[in-house]
Amino acid sequence: MLSVAVIDYGGSNLRSVSKALETVAGKRARVVVTDDVKRIAAADRVVFPGQGAIGNCMTRLHETGLVDAIRESVKTHPFLGICLGLQSLMDRSDEDGGTPCLGLYPGGVRHFTRNPPPGADGTPQKIPHMGWNQVRWTRQHPLLDGIESGTRFYFVHSFYVVPDVAELTIGETDYIDTFSAALAEDNVFATQFHPEKSAAAGLQLLRNFIAWDGQA
């Protein structure tokens, strides 16, 4: 049986992520929420979810010794980052007065333009970006099997990633601006949206992750 480690740095949303993974895993995998670096290293799959502010997230990662565990997991495991689990992979974030992140991918995390104009249809574009929105895939990937480009996923965020390497982006969404909704490279896939809150499409992505061997 496969093991899936959901990294627990003391943040929120862990239960909904783990329950969604358990739903799609069935008897194929055992899901454990843990901050034990040895259990994370021994897992077959690693998931790093997060909600809230990046400053508190990075502080907790350093306090719990999870920084090195995440950096190693990104190199060695099929790895899924969700929301802050995506943003934390970048060099830096503008949030909380400027926050150094894990520095695994070159680029930053920016706030949406404040006081944005209405959308093309006249709908107010409020911050945070909260609710369902379409994601366009820029290339194929095993985690996207059975999920059409333009499928709607659930978002809750005020900041978005801006990778220096455009080819990292695998999913784009339009809100105020066009931003990277998902990044992928080698054995890493990370989303700004929340698969665990995205109904059938989100569960399909998680199901694909359970089956994924880390090869693109």
Cβ–Cβ contacts within 10 Å for residue 99, how many?
A: 19
Active-site pick, 57, 77, 83, 157: 83
Any idea what the Cα angle at residue 118 is, between residues 113 and 124, rounded to 5°?
95
Q: Which of 77, 129, 157, 194 is catalytic?
A: 194
Catalytic residue among 57, 77, 95, 196: 196
Q: How many CB atoms lie within 10 A of CB 39?
A: 14
Q: How many residues comprise the chain?
A: 216
DSSP 79: E
Alpha carbons 210 and 163: distance in angstroms, whole number: 26
196 has catalytic annotation = yes
Q: Is 29 within 8 Å of 3 (Cβ atoms)? A: yes
Cα–Cα distance measured from residue 92 to residue 87, given in angstroms and rounded to the nearest whole number: 9
**What tokens were used for 18?**
């783990």
Structure tokens at 4: 């899936």
Question: Quick check: is 185 catalytic?
Answer: no
Could you list the active site residues? 83, 194, 196
